[in-house]
Structure 1
């Protein structure tokens, strides 16, 4: 429980019941003094306490240089938000592309941009959903397999038309399919009314963060390195990111003792710690969590009273056998009471990753476990403002969670495409790791899962000094030169957060397998030249 926002009299009663030193958050604001806040009315959202840009111009300034929407008069949290995946490096790449340069975009996990082929069955059904008149064409049976036609007819009956809005949580039939998928995966039931279909998992993450963050006193625990969706969204919603560091020397592992100390230190400063984010498999770090890791996280959430946000979008992308993917929902159920019926868990998934790679279709979901019914209603209200998630993304989600079954006409082809795609990604993960580790001044942990390598760059002092003179972080300096020399678009580690004094970059493992050797050699040749220049 956090008492940052309760009334003074209630805070005194709570303090008495907890006993000295045992309150989970500091009482200063509740009990008065310089940091005191008025009691918060239920449902009221406060404005950010950060100074707005207009204040820098001496008050209520409405326009500058003839523009009301002048960049210095925008929301301060928007101006402070950073998203490195499409930041300075990406913008420079677009400039080079306009000049006619051929580029290799490995800055973002966008499989089909780099040549990954979509699953045939899925695209067959999607095409019939987009053009349902084909279902009545006599030639359809010569163009499509029987099970694709049957699936499209069933979905068309469920949707009516993909050109129409659905329920704001998504089509009920697809939500039931997602619930069935979760139960088959984990062995525990899922409530379709607590599943929200969204335009990709990112929208679902932002939905939860927007609901949880009330002002800058609300802190969200986020792993460092992290996917900058989290840092950018927390900033946009006026909250505060509370980092916990992953340990590179032990394969980007987490230290629950350190996380616990971080939480207690923050609460002693008056912070309200609302949630803990974890990414499994990891982005950008590529590690897979064990069942023991997940049990520790569930127990931590129970003991510290925080919401668990399980970013599990890369769950199909596992490239070793020692640590298979296990969902947080399964671990929660296996632990039993008091954890299984109390820990608030939000689990995220998407059609963008795995071997589907349907990033552009924007299909995702969040499952809410042990959330208060009133909170589920408030989230329903929030998504209703946007009326409906896109329908083709919902169809893609249906096809992800309900695949062709053995004995059906399309199963053999679907299984071949799925298995070959995953095996190719596994080989590429090994090739990228081996290629980086063969270089002097580079070390890279194996990509156990997800779609990225995150090598550490051991840069010489001369390179660090040159970066400083150029006004760049050393890893940004390196990545910019890599881009100019090779056309490879990456993301500097500083965009994800990294331990002080260390430098990294993130690249996907998605270049086509037949070109992965060429890609690695291109990188190696550049790196050798860079090190020779600055050593």
Structure 2
């Protein structure tokens, strides 16, 4: 008789490697006691069953989709899933008192979920586009109405609810091209090289589908930074490509060293064909901004080794850092480079001061892509019809905000400077507070929305983690959640050098709340070191 699994087991059954499901058909059903700790629940064995109607269904054969099963969702690890099940309620239900009253989800860079207010002008334009009857209202400024009318006139039936061209609305692509030209000091951008996407993730996934090919030793290798944003490793696994890791230099503020690229490429050629190099600038989760010299070295490497560059970029707030786009640097290195190095660059509404994650707006610009490949790219994009039109409209405001002399300019600049100023302040606060704690080291935060501090985990804690069948930093993060209600992401989910441990934490909460969060992490770490000394 089928015994329904607990919620935890039902979630975890999809997390195990597919060969476990294939080779352990007679495993016992494990139920986790309600009084167990969150770390014990996370480490509990996965439930499998002797008989289960799902296993008799035609598509329930994990051997058919191993690459999907092996892909990891490390931004929402067991710490987040435990938090999602309401740690406060779970402990209260069994009479266990915990020293926190709320769960703080500091694992995801969702600015508005953390209390950041939307930029007024963007929301005004979206409201007008969504409900055009508001165009007659005196409550909205004329520049917002002009933006909304222009977008609506480019939509089928003057409605945001209609499909657009697969590549995106033309006038919005023109605005993106104008934005890139301004950003890069006059280097021209062609709207035909712009593709509007469902967030930056959609563009990255789509271009990788085009680039991955071959089999065996000729299978495409994709070079990604370690630590990395888990989207890359997940897509590489889904496409059955070969992941080629190159390590950022933590001792040098997570800088990218071209000699490390050469090492990774040389070693990878024994088992694959490395053809794609991914750069995240500023780094996620590391928050560093690459120098112009570093970008020049990377472009020279790509030209020399004939690899395709993917640049996930543009989210800088540190007053001491200057952002250099790969396209601008490429254009200034001479025709030998600018006419030959293939590049795709990505940006989205989620990044930067707008923080509009839920609209899923984004764009991709391609440089030096062969016309036939561009045709295949459009064909691939047409399968999903078009990106969300509301997201396209939001992207338009990101790249075409109010300018000097327009009615909304002063309010817009005030809100923008407030967000960026707060990010810089919170980055410095986070760096300083972590570096006051014995056993924690945090490099300067120059961009992005995260800190990625290195933590010392004592040998006894490593042994305790092994006893729970957990990696040490996951054990640490689960204990942090249990004792403080703060949910962060273990560094092992992003990749790290062997023997080092980290966690990623967002710096997005309001300043006073962030101070409280950092103090709780500080106190927890001191207690953790004492407990496992």
TM over 0.5, shorter chain: yes
Which residue in 1 is equivalent to 2:80? 90
Which residue in 1 is equivalent to 2:119? 119
8 Å CA contact retained: 1:53, 1:72: no
Which residue in 2 is equivalent to 1:335? 333
The CA distance in 2 between the partners of 1:247 and 1:83, in whole Å, is: 25
The CA distance in 1 between the partners of 2:349 and 2:391, in whole Å, is: 8
Question: Does residue 69 of structure 1 match 2:71?
Answer: no
Which residue in 2 is equivalent to 1:309? 310
Distance 1:525 1:409, change over 3 A: same
- Taking structure 2 as the reference length, the TM-score comes to 0.86
The CA distance in 2 between the partners of 1:295 and 1:86, in whole Å, is: 35
1:54 CA displacement: 10
Query: Gaps spanning 5+ residues in structure 1: where?
Result: 1-49
Matches within 5 A, 1:124-203: 124-135=124-135, 137=136, 140-141=137-138, 143-159=139-155, 160-186=158-184, 187-203=186-202
Give secondary structure in 1 for the equivalent of 2:116.
Answer: coil
The CA distance in 2 between the partners of 1:57 and 1:525, in whole Å, is: 43
The CA distance in 1 between the partners of 2:360 and 2:401, in whole Å, is: 19
Which residue in 1 is equivalent to 2:256? 254
1:517 CA displacement: 1.4
Deviations 1:31-65 (A, max 9, x none): xxxxxxxxxxxxxxxxxxx999998799xxxx963
The CA distance in 1 between the partners of 2:59 and 2:528, in whole Å, is: 43
Which residue in 1 is equivalent to 2:207? 208
Give secondary structure in 1 for the equivalent of 2:176.
Answer: helix
1:384 CA displacement: 0.1
Matches within 5 A, 1:219-234: 219-234=221-236
Deviations 1:245-304 (A, max 9, x none): 11111111122122113212322x142111100100000111100110110111110000
1:68 CA displacement: 2.7
The CA distance in 1 between the partners of 2:487 and 2:23, in whole Å, is: 36
Which residue in 2 is equivalent to 1:34? none
Distance 1:207 1:424, change over 3 A: same
Which residue in 2 is equivalent to 1:110? 110
Give secondary structure in 2 for the equivalent of 1:502.
Answer: coil
Distance 1:488 1:66, change over 3 A: same
8 Å CA contact retained: 2:88, 2:103: no
Which residue in 2 is equivalent to 1:388? 386
Q: After the TM superposition, list the runs of 4 or more consecutive aligned residues in structure 1 that deviate by more than 4 angstroms.
A: 50-58
8 Å CA contact retained: 1:169, 1:388: yes
Between 454-463 and 495-504, the greater mean CA deviation after superposition = 454-463
Which residue in 2 is equivalent to 1:445? 443
2:352 corresponds, among 348, 351, 354, to 354
Matches within 5 A, 1:395-406: 395-406=393-404
Query: Gaps spanning 5+ residues in structure 2: where?
Result: 1-16, 26-52, 91-100
How many correspondences in the alignment? 474
Which residue in 1 is equivalent to 2:98? none
8 Å CA contact retained: 2:55, 2:61: no
Which residue in 1 is equivalent to 2:461? 463
The CA distance in 1 between the partners of 2:88 and 2:353, in whole Å, is: 31
Which residue in 2 is equivalent to 1:429? 427
Give secondary structure in 1 for the equivalent of 2:55.
Answer: coil
Cα RMSD (Å) = 1.9
The CA distance in 1 between the partners of 2:393 and 2:62, in whole Å, is: 42
The CA distance in 2 between the partners of 1:262 and 1:151, in whole Å, is: 47
8 Å CA contact retained: 1:460, 1:534: yes
The CA distance in 2 between the partners of 1:409 and 1:74, in whole Å, is: 58
Which residue in 1 is equivalent to 2:42? none
8 Å CA contact retained: 1:227, 1:284: yes
8 Å CA contact retained: 1:53, 1:73: no
Give secondary structure in 1 for the equivalent of 2:174.
Answer: helix
Deviations 1:415-459 (A, max 9, x none): 000001100000000111111111111111011111110000111
